[in-house]
Amino acid sequence: MLKKLEQILLDFEKQVKQVKTPADLDNVKSIYAGKDSPLTQVLKNLREVDPETRKLVGEKANETKTKIFGQINQIQDDFKYAELKKQLENEKVDLTLPGINLTKGTKHPLNLVIEEIADIFKGLGYDMIDGTEFETDEFCFQKLNLPVGHPARDMQDTFYVDKNTVLRTHCTNMTARLLTNLAKTKVAEKNLAAISYGNVFRRDDDDATHSHQFTQIDGFAVGKKISFANLKWILEYMCKRLFAPTTEIRMRPSYFPFTEPSVEVDITCVTCAGLGCKICKFTGWIEILGAGMIAPEVIELNGLDPSQVGGLAFGIGVERVAMLKFGIKNIRDFYENDTRFLQQFKFFGD
């Protein structure tokens, strides 16, 4: 039996030397450490031998068992260690590599212009509000002296949502809303100056300078003693701050149903400073906004007394200002959100 045990150990050692993979080891383990292993066979027969030999064989069998299990455990640990090492190597992080830079966003040029204009008017004491893009026919037109059937409605090709609701064609709707609110307040002095800004919509021809959706800033001031001179000063001040201190303005008579008189305001060309170039079609002037004194009819339609209060008003196309300011040729550049285009404005604003 002792011989047999030696043979078992020899066989085991021979086979264990061949082990290359965990699967090989499992195989050897199932032979030498399983329930029916040659060692178990020897131990089973142990009770048939005399006590003297039994002691010897028992000791030898234990020794053999310890050696076999010891080696199996050792190899198992080696495999586990090799596996762990491989895993750690694969997951190695090189801390000396440069990190991934987080790129900072930029402000959209239209927002830059809105912020700049808002800043100018806030400094003059104007409130700033946004407003409703869905608007009733009443506030978009009727309360601005554009009754149903008025020919001037054609100036603003309108998207109708239903018979009484439109996508607002201008931000002047907020003038009507704010004047109506002001009329309802209990305060005796009906003073208010505000600008509103936001998206407006028109069934306009889409070309390089027109889009069916664009952005406006609309402003007004109402109170007791507001004159045309105030309007001229405010617009001149705004244009000088917005473009250049040397910018001049000129006013041409125009027509808007909600203002009387109405003007269109030109500035000296931003490109040639008035000398004449392609941008200003060699006139030296560029049209920039519409304005006027709020028509008495509009004051009245919104519940205020035109013998007590009057006001000035103006409407600015944000895209137009941004195109002139930044030399942008195609209005669609504003809406495509191509980051290569937007990145160019990272040095403007704060």
- The residues of the shown chain that bind ligand DAH, judged by CB under 6 A, are 170, 172, 218, 256, 259, 290-292, 313-315
Nearer to ligand DAH, 248 or 287 (CB): 287
Nearer to ligand DAH, 12 or 314 (CB): 314
Residue with nearest beta carbon to ligand DAH: 315
H-only helix segments in 91-189:
109-123, 137-140, 173-184
Nearer to ligand DAH, 57 or 179 (CB): 179
DSSP for 172-224, written as a single string = THHHHHHHHHHHHS--SS--EEEEEEEEEE-----BTTB-SEEEEEEEEEEES
- Give CA angle at 262 (259, 263), nearest 5°: 145
Nearer to ligand DAH, 37 or 196 (CB): 196
CA distance 115 to 348: 11
Shortest separation between residue 262's beta carbon and ligand DAH, angstroms = 6
Q: Is 63 annotated as a binding residue?
A: no
Nearer to ligand DAH, 38 or 317 (CB): 317
Cα 202 to the center of its chain, rounded Å: 25
Shortest separation between residue 147's beta carbon and ligand DAH, angstroms = 16
Shortest separation between residue 187's beta carbon and ligand DAH, angstroms = 23
CA distance 269 to 324: 9
- Give CA angle at 161 (157, 163), nearest 5°: 90
Shortest separation between residue 256's beta carbon and ligand DAH, angstroms = 4
Shortest separation between residue 183's beta carbon and ligand DAH, angstroms = 18
Binding residues for Mg(2+): 260
Q: What residues are designated binding site?
A: 260
